[in-house]
Amino acid sequence: MKPIVYANPQERLLDEKTLPVVVQELKERATLGLDSNSIVCDLSSSGLTLDAALQLAELLEARTGLFALDLSLNRINANSWDDVCRLARKFLDAVEYLDLSLNHLTPLQSLKENKVAEKELKGFRDRLSLGSDCNSFCGDPDVDHWTRNARRFKQEAYGFEYDG
């Protein structure tokens, strides 16, 4: 079954007041007889901060079964890999695939310096996207891993195809 994309229809800036509205709209989609495992929630470029994203994760805990959640191009400012791990852990309990790319995250190259976070984040295998799908492979397997995951997210969530 091809996924159905929910994409913040009013292009609202998402904060603590508007997040419950988004979650309610997702619940309404699911009650219309749609298989929740086919819903892709595209909240990219919605102005989400780290605090708002954590609130969204809490709201979604009761709304499991979303197929993919696109949080790319937001204002998620994670100053440490521990923040990224906490966010990924919360969301990947509720969705199959998560895209956090193009936010204000710690540089991917620095992940090697935090072995605990690196192990946890890589433990999500291809379910977590932290890199950009349009980057070319650089030859560093630790960085290329995230580019491959970004491409996998776009393939699974939106049906994109890549050469090579």
User: What CA–CA distances, in Å, run from 5 to 48, 60, 143?
Assistant: 19, 16, 28
Whether 160 and 154 have beta carbons less than 8 Å apart is answered as: yes
Whether 92 and 50 have beta carbons less than 8 Å apart is answered as: no
Which pLDDT score is estimated for 62? 54
Q: From first to last of the 164 residues of the chain, give the pLDDT tens digit.
A: 667 788 876 678 888 889 998 888 887 776 654 555 678 899 999 999 999 999 999 888 655 567 899 999 999 999 899 999 999 999 998 888 999 999 999 888 899 899 999 999 999 999 999 988 877 888 888 888 888 999 899 988 888 887 75
The structure's pTM equals 0.89
Which pLDDT score is estimated for 4? 79
Provide the CB-side half-sphere exposure for 5 (13 A, CA): 12
